[in-house]
Amino acid sequence: MKQPTNEEILHLLIEESGLQRQQVAQTIALLNEGATVPFIARYRKEATGDLDEVQIRQLQERLSYHKELIERRQTILKSIDEQGKLTPELRRRIAAARQKTELEDLYLPFKPRRRTKALIARERGLESLAEQLLAATGAGAELERLAVPFVNPERDVADTAAALEGAGHILAERFAEDADARALVRELTWQQGQFCSKTARGKEGTVSKYEMYYDFSELLRQIPSHRMLAMRRGEKEEILRLSVEAPEEDILQRLRGLLIPQGNRFRDWLQSVVADAYQRLIAPSIEVELRLQAKKSADEEAIRVFAENLRNLLLAAPVDSRRVLGIDPGLRTGSKLAAVDETGRFLEHVTIYPHTGRGQIEPAKREVLRLVEAHRIEMIAIGSGTAGREMDQFVRRSLKDADKQLPVVMISEAGASIYSASDIAREEFPDLDLTVRGAISIARRLQDPLAELVKVDPKSIGVGQYQHDVSQSALQKALDDVVESCVNYVGIDLNTASWALLSFVSGIGESLGKAIVRYRDENGRFVRREQLLEVTRFGRKAFEQAAGFLRIRNAEQPLDNTAVHPERYPLVARIAADVGLSLPQLIAEPAVLDKLDLKSYLSEEVGLLTLRDIVAELKKPGRDPRETFVTTSFREDVMEVKDLKEGMLLNGVVTNVAAFGAFVDIGVHQDGLVHISQLADRFVKDPNEVVKVGQQVQVRVLSVDLQRQRIGLSMKVDVPAKGAGKHVQLQKRESAQVKSSQPTTDLASALEKSGFRVKKRK
């Protein structure tokens, strides 16, 4: 088969993206050479015209789509040509098709057929009658009389009614396979169709979390992602019955004008054939197609929200190199404490029982203070799960009694239990209990959220919306892209990074990541980037793609601790020589760089974009682009939902962002919901414009429902008077999905109705 040409695809991508030919052509060339998206975006700005990662990934996706489209087009052309039915007009229309659906519509009449009513009618010799009926204009024989010659009991055509029925089936199939007719139905149904939800047969009156959808309809093209996915889940659980109600009368009128020839004397009969074609053949297939399209759109939005939340979580501010005591709080089984040094190296662990009885409080206090003293602890990280606030108060009291002042931080432990039982955790700490591994992970999450969270499947972190209902392959790719983007945006320390973190660096992957760690274990720390070439199977291409994203502190070459790529070291050396300084002196005196005439360093490969990046790196070598860490303190007199009062002002941390608002941790074991209408004193279309996961916010309590454990919050400066506003859902962070059979009064059901997975705490 002829392969799609680069020129064909290039033309399509330019037409679709609106970008310059050179931008698209060079980006495609780099992708085809095996360059990664982060590498292209960071180190090939001149080639791409400064396209960012999002634009490059879009080109990458559309490149794949158009390759598939062109290959499918060639297959279709070959198939129709072999049937001897490829007309010049059909070839032109197939060549002009830009969408896979359009292509398949054109191919539909020529596909191998199953045994349909139309095929049976053809076998009975009724195709000629169908042609005559469609072509009949002016005066002539009556309908019944025209059918008489085709009556043949031996071929199961008993009378004229049977003959006309068979002819109708032939024409109905022809109409249903008309590409223009299908496009018309598709467009009208998408624009005007209602997506309807009813109670499934036999489930009338059933109490379920889907009650709001028992008699529900909304424009198909406007239905929000979370509602679409909720209803589809209800259908899957056989609680709901879903359908698309199209504007049938409008569609039939348009189809009659399109399919029935002007002046046909059997127009009334043909109208019934058109109706049969639509109702029996076109409408069901278009409904399936559009439901899949709507599902795909809902998936994309849910995945976008998940990816944005994950990005903000991964890029949360780290703390500077500090010794941390991590605490995984518990009740009956005790709380696990683990101390780690500045690099995250495990030092010691103990178990304390401060919540099981008065006799255990003093011994627990002594252990906390002993660990703080013995390991020169500078910060304490406490998991936000069961007994988290109680542990927070206990630790603060213990430090106060000992006249010690240390920052105490609550850390989300979502996914910590998943990490504790993972292969990565077993490799790191083969001799430690799962719960101790969890405490270490909590400490490390405070030190560097990115480095620790990459060890956990993003789907376990708990910031997704209907994550099990969307396309798993699309979700996995999007989340992998986000992790890769974040890791390379920040850059990583080559001498401390785990193989899991290294695996997301441009050009490396899991195998090379493990090889780097083995080399480091056997040979000691890296002192220069070029040593990577000594790692087994680490070739020049991998070095090109990865080197700029790897940092070496106190390296022999000062530039090895910057984002300056090794291929530009000679250029930096030339700059240093021109100003009469050594490299260390140049980095130590950044003011010199402001006087440079950058244009004097331009070349075919290096433009102003790259030169400005180099200067920025030299001014702040090894800088971390993430925000500065700031601690959050919850009110000490607010521990549980019952402590809340309407009108209270509280500090909180955004834990999840959805299309309808944001969930905020205010320190009461339950997260309140700031509805989208309460996010700001202005209209907000997308909550991500206002808040992000991990952001510290101040909220006012709007409503508290103790029975249903729901909290309504507002971030508005001007909020309704006390008692105003509806109760809104609350998110309870737990570790296992709640069964769908729970009643609607259950918190979990209310949450799932809003589009969230509900997890039980450890």
Q: How confident is the model over 225-270, as pLDDT tens digits?
A: 989 999 999 999 999 999 999 999 999 999 999 999 999 999 999 9
Task: Please indicate, yes or no, if residue 475 is contained in any of the structural domains.
Answer: no
pLDDT (tens digit per residue) in 690-702: 999 989 999 999 9
| pLDDT computed for residue 5 by the predictor | 54
| Model confidence pLDDT, tens digit, residues 538-582 | 999 999 999 999 999 999 999 999 999 999 999 999 999 999 999
Same domain? For 153 and 244 the reply is yes
Q: What is the CATH number of the domain that holds 241?
A: 1.10.3500.10
Band of residue 428 on the pLDDT scale cut at 50, 70, 90: very high
One domain for residues 94 and 129: no
Determine, yes or no, domain membership for 81: yes
Q: Which pLDDT score is estimated for 384?
A: 87
Q: How confident is residue 633, by pLDDT bands cut at 50, 70 and 90?
A: confident
pLDDT digits (tens, 9 = 90+) for 320-349: 789 999 999 998 889 999 999 999 999 999
396: in domain? yes
- The CATH number covering residue 380 comes to 3.30.420.140
C-alpha to C-alpha distance for 608 and 138, rounded to whole angstroms:
75
pLDDT-derived band at 637, boundaries 50, 70, 90: confident
Q: Does residue 347 sit within a domain? A: yes
Within a domain: 456: no
368 has pLDDT over 60: yes
Would residue 417 count as lying in a domain? yes
For residues 271 and 366, membership in a common domain is answered with no
Residues 28 and 12 in one domain: yes
Q: Of 53, 78, 110, which marks where a domain is finished?
A: 110
pLDDT of residue 720: 55
User: In Å, how far from its chain's centre is CA 695?
Assistant: 20
DSSP class of 317: P
Is the predicted pLDDT of residue 752 greater than 50, yes or no? no
Q: 297 and 215 in one domain?
A: yes
Query: Range of 16's domain?
Result: 6-110
CATH code of the domain in which 726 resides: 2.40.50.140
In a domain, 431, yes or no: yes
* Counted domains in the chain: 4
Q: Identify any residues that bridge with 656 across adjacent strands, giving them in sequence order.
A: 663
**CA neighbours closer than 13 Å in the CB half-sphere of residue 140:** 14
**Is-contact 130 167, C-beta < 8 A?**
yes
Comparing CA positions, the residue from 12, 46, 7, 5 lying closest to residue 27 is 46
Q: Is residue 454 part of a domain?
A: no
> Within this chain, do residues 97 and 126 fall inside the same structural domain, yes or no?
no
User: Tens digit of pLDDT for each residue in 704-744?
Assistant: 998 888 999 999 987 554 444 444 443 433 322 223 333 33
97/129 same-domain check: no
Name the domain boundary from 55, 77, 110.
Answer: 110
What is d(CA 182, CA 180) in angstroms, rounded to the nearest whole number? 5
- Rounded to an integer, the average pLDDT of 51-79 is 94
3-state secondary structure of 88: helix
Helices 267-276 & 127-135 angle (0-180, nearest 10): 120
Does 196 share its domain with 288?
Answer: yes
Give the other-Cβ count within 10 Å of 137's Cβ: 11
Q: Tell whether 147 and 247 lie within a shared domain.
A: yes
Residues 69-100 have pLDDT tens digits of 999 999 999 999 999 999 999 999 999 999 99
Tokens of 687: 């909550």
What tokens does 621 get? 């070598």
Query: Is the domain of 171 the same as that of 270?
Result: yes
**Are residue 286 and residue 369 in the same domain, yes or no?**
no
Domain co-membership, 161 together with 278 = yes
CATH number of the CATH domain containing 10: 1.10.10.650
